[in-house]
Structure 1
Amino acid sequence: MRIVVLRPEPGNAATRARIAEAGMAAVAMPLFAVTPLAWEAPDPARFDSLLLTSANAVRHARAALPTLAALPTVVVGEATAEAARAAGLNVVAVGGSDADAARRELDRLGLARALHLCGRDHLLDPGGPIAAVIPVYASIETTDRIDLSPGDLVLVHSPRAARRLAALVADRAAIGVVAISPRAAHAAGSGWRQVSIAATPDDPALIAAALAAH
């Protein structure tokens, strides 16, 4: 049984390194490549907070983040929190679920004018506590095939990756899926040998679920 990692670099290598630390080997089969988008940082005075749901947003917005550093920052996931703190941002809350949970966290904190920096394929649109959404990176499909073998266990880090996996794999009965969230598991569809879901939506929990299912 192989553990297959679909996420783009540099996250793919980080996941495989964590799996290696646990005494297992993993195979890289990235379905996307992350590339920066051209954008301009808006006037921070228009906003009362910053919302980040991916470490990729931090990575590709980093040059402009000093102009936004005074805004309290709400993030999804510890990896995003670590990247945001390293970039000098003031992280006031870490959502432990998904983008919808981050919106609820903004409401809980009384933040009503958030700037959301995200990927081009994002889940949240302006409305409610989110005043503006600016894509700062894109995940580009890089392959039209995936070379899985019977018994493989595939790690799915996002609903979009799950949908792409489902589109590429017709014979699913011998393939297992470990999803980072219920949303990602649902996006993968049915017919897999097994579908497991990480206890929390982060890489360490996803890997732990994979090792338990291995």
Structure 2
Amino acid sequence: MSGGLPLVVTRPEPGNSATIGRAAALGLDARAMPLFAAHPIDWALPAPTNYDALLLTSAQAVRLAGVQLAELAALPVHAVGEATANAARAAGLTVVQTGTADGQALLDAMASEKIGRILWLCGRERSEFDPRGALLDPRACYGVEPAEPPGDWAEVIAAPAVLLAHSARAARRIGDLVGASRGHLALVAISPAVAAAAGAGWAEQVAAAAPTDAAMLALAHALCHKGGK
């Protein structure tokens, strides 16, 4: 049976439903409130032979890259997080490394392996990374646009609740929508950088030790039941 404070899941689909399912399995009162929607965009497929590796920082890139993704099957994949790695494997790609932190940490590891030419399938809005001397070629294959908050958004955040932020962009939008009156709300971020993007003033503000749903939901579980007492 679910209990404690409501858990607000703001990430776009299909990740939203996946997180809701995991949260419900933990007995949490999870609310699906996606604040963004992802969609494919046109992109040019470069010659795979020009690269030594394929970098994936989001499962959305795998889901929305389209039929051209199959042309990159010969490139070894370096993925951030198990969800992205699993999506790549399901698409027939070969994952050789799964990062447990963020894109920069994975690029640092790739630099230590002397990987010089990296193709990065990413979103139109993306983080800036230091390739550490490597050639990093970002190719945007999807876009993520803000979506209108669900109708019960205002009602839910007016009372104590726990919100999940899966990206810096999401954290900033959550902060903007909530405004300055956030002292009754808790925020769980996927990384310290994402937590910082949300700004200050939250009742609780914590960052996951690893960029995974499991790590975020472990923190959320504690906060939901702490606040619900």
Render the CA deviation track for 1:152-204: whole Å, top value 9, x for unaligned.
10011111100111111121111110111001100011000101211211111
2:189 matched residue in structure 1: 179
Give me the whole-angstrom Cα distance separating, in 2, the residues matched to 1:125 and 1:42.
21
Give me the whole-angstrom Cα distance separating, in 1, the residues matched to 2:135 and 2:23.
36
Question: 2:158 corresponds to which letter in structure 1?
Answer: S
Render the CA deviation track for 1:59-90: whole Å, top value 9, x for unaligned.
11142122111111111000000001111111
User: What does 1:131-210 correspond to in 2, within 5 Å?
Assistant: 131-143=136-148, 146-147=153-154, 148-170=157-179, 171-210=181-220
The 1:197–1:131 alpha-carbon spacing in structure 2 relative to 1, beyond 3 Å, is closer
Q: Are 2:8 and 2:32, in contact at CA under 8 Å, matched by a contact in 1?
A: yes
Deviation for aligned residue 1:25: 2.0
Q: Are 1:47 and 1:131, in contact at CA under 8 Å, matched by a contact in 2?
A: no
Deviation for aligned residue 1:126: 8.2
Q: Are 2:104 and 2:130, in contact at CA under 8 Å, matched by a contact in 1?
A: no
Give the paired residue count. Answer: 214
1:16 partner SS = helix
Q: What stretches of structure 1 of length at least 5 have no aligned partner?
A: none
The 1:124–1:102 alpha-carbon spacing in structure 2 relative to 1, beyond 3 Å, is farther
Q: What stretches of structure 2 of length at least 5 have no aligned partner?
A: 225-229
- Identity of paired residues, percent? 45
Give me the whole-angstrom Cα distance separating, in 1, the residues matched to 2:125 and 2:69.
21
2:139 partner SS = strand
- Aligned partner (choices 93, 116, 128) of residue 124 of structure 1: 128
Question: 2:40 corresponds to which letter in structure 1?
Answer: P
- Aligned partner (choices 13, 20, 25) of residue 21 of structure 1: 25
Deviation >3 Å, runs of 4+ = 124-127
Matched, 1:69 2:73: yes
Q: Are 1:126 and 1:132, in contact at CA under 8 Å, matched by a contact in 2?
A: no
1:25 partner SS = strand
TM-score (normalised: structure 1): 0.95
Matched, 1:31 2:35: yes
Return 177-186 or 139-148, whichever deviates more: 139-148
Q: Are 1:54 and 1:118, in contact at CA under 8 Å, matched by a contact in 2?
A: yes
